[in-house]
Structure 1
Amino acid sequence: MMQVLALLSLTVLLSGCWDGYQMNELAIINAMAIDYTKEQYTVTAEAYNTMAVPSPGHPTSGSGSGGSNPSASIILTGSGKTLGEAMANVSASSSRHVFWATTNVVIVGRAALKEGLASITGTLLRYPQFRTTSRMFVAQGMAAPLLQSTKAGMEMTTGEVIRNQDRYLHHNISAGWAPRAYDLLRWDAQHGRSAVILAIKRRDGSDFGPQFSMTDSAVLAPTGRIQGWLPVSDAPAYLWLVHRAGQSFSTLACPTGGRTSIFWTSVTGHSRVEIAHGRVAGIHVTLAGVGKLAGPLCGNLSTISQAANHRAVVQTLATVGWAERHRADIFGWGQAIYRKNPRLWFKMDGQWPSQFQRLPVSVTAQIIIEQGDAGRV
């Protein structure tokens, strides 16, 4: 009898899932939007609509027409004085257990950015469930409208559309603009470099569901506060220098008038910081790339190549000028100075914004435009 009691008592120590949930008891979050209005945070969470997945022999039911064609997602909301309270109220508003670990996309509204991004990412990453690899985006206005429920019959949620677009940028253009939550949390340890986060806007009306395009991107100081909005027109120079962005299309003004298209097959950008006599003597930027004509041939290839080189230099200097005016080290030159001469960096620390406005920057470009199939006569 004692042996039986001993065995029964050991069952208490056996591992098990004491707080487990069935799939139909979960609200599986795919994306979330964070806004700040009237001195409180509002979290809009997009969850997979599990009712949209039919069981064998059971028809679907949901928000679609007649219950036969439900949407791919449902929307949950919650508000609170703090972001943590707002997330807790999202959980309270759902009849299911909210599961945050699947959150792939986080969009932060403009007003919430003014409160600083560091506190937002810090709160998110304190959630044990929350994944550190969630991609961060910003909105120039409210973030919640970007996560409206998808149309009935759409196979992908809005969050999946955004994430797939970022994957395309990352794998095909080498321009993964959307940083991870963890990246932003440790940004302030990167010697003053500013963070650039892609701002997106939504376009509806397509039979294929919501479409998203980039707009002016938010540039954040290490404190998480907005330093300015990097114009879309200045984005290519930033991508070339920071992300080595190739395999992308762009337009080019023809020397003879009109415009043509260029498909970039390879682009590299490098910057070299020159230090002499205990100061920054210059920053030398070199761009190199190969592009193929994807539009009409307007002039000879040599002339078009010269025009492409001129535009690359002008565009890069314009982006550098924007960064100087906003005192935003988007190219990471502060890190380069630190690696070369830590003593000089610490001497400049605190004066970097004013020093940045006086840095001598030179740009050279070595770009070759080749004949493409679309450009052949």
Structure 2
Amino acid sequence: MTATEAPDVLAPARLGPIRLRNRVIKAATYEGLSHRALVTRDLVDFHVAYARGGVGMTTVAYCAVTRDGRTDRHQIHWTDEAMPGLRVLTEAVHAEGAAIAAQIGHGGPVASPRANGAPALSPSSFFHTTAFSRARAASLADIRRITGAHAEAARRAAAAGFDAVEVHLGHNYLASSFLSPRLNRRTDRYGGPLENRARFAREIMRAVHDAADGRIAVIAKMNMDDGVPGGFWLDEAIAVARWLEQDGTVDALEMTAGSSLLNPMYLFKGDAPLREFAAVMPQPARLGVKAVGGRFLRSYPYRDAYLLEDARQIRAAVKLPMILLGGITGRPVMDRAMREGFAYVAMARALLREPDLVNRLREDAATPSLCIHCNKCMPTNFTGTRCVLTDRTTTRGDTWGTPEGYVG
């Protein structure tokens, strides 16, 4: 594609059934700002800042499809009590001219047994070293229940005013762990060859697509590479992307990488903030991070557009619109993504540093990002996700709804 053929990243565009004012999406970054599974004023303000700052769409992360799929005890899941606050949130973002998506999924082996009062689920049983408990192998009843919960989450997202859902098929959350040959040792129709390991993800996407019924856009966020030996790899990701395209269940693909369970820094690249993670951890986890955290939180060299090389191979294999994630920092990288055939770009850390970056890029394409990729924003999701180099503070604020049945 030539420069003259490439779309303008800051011009309006369609995403499935919806229209975005530009092609820049605020990527899902867990905010740590919900309280007792309800929307707070801080969560609303967080997303309004990106809408006011010029993004085409902001993404709320992470909304678990079931209570046992949460990775944090305060995490929103799709209860009746959460709906009033979610409507406040979507209306506030729409008032600023932006669209809003909800990231939906089940944490699986990444879910918190302590917060949920239930064992983590996995394709196969294993000892959960970070939780010091055994993850339970998902039964066929669990698979049916969680597939249906994804559909219900999509219906509720549409009812709450969301413009899109982003289905989490990455980072070794439940659907991703089924894709992984390292984590999935099942011998039934959900294990073994790739076609079987991909069955759960495909069933989820069919259920979400049918529930969305053309009212909202459906995005799949899927790993290209787990970043661990024996894990899901790019050649298999290409095959799954083709199957999703054939199924006709997805409006756009967002490719990601890494395992929140086994190698979380593989997605982010750059330095691992071990000291900052240890500071927010309770004992004995704090001692563990200090002693052996470098084995789990590894450092990787950072470069702009660091997922482009692999995502380009997915791009060549499918005709689906694709969102480029990973090291999107400024106009040169955005324009390169457009020339390479990507339809949208997703930004995370650069926007945490400067929520108004898109507006400033519109005024001056040479505007540099101030993000230095120190990754010290990562541990702040325990207390309210933010760039530590800014003065922004969080209080959690008011909530909308009543947290019935909440167990803290």
- TM-score, normalised to structure 2, is 0.22
Higher strand share goes to which structure?
1
Highest CA radius of gyration, 1 or 2? 1
Q: Using structure 1 for the length normalisation, give the TM-score.
A: 0.23
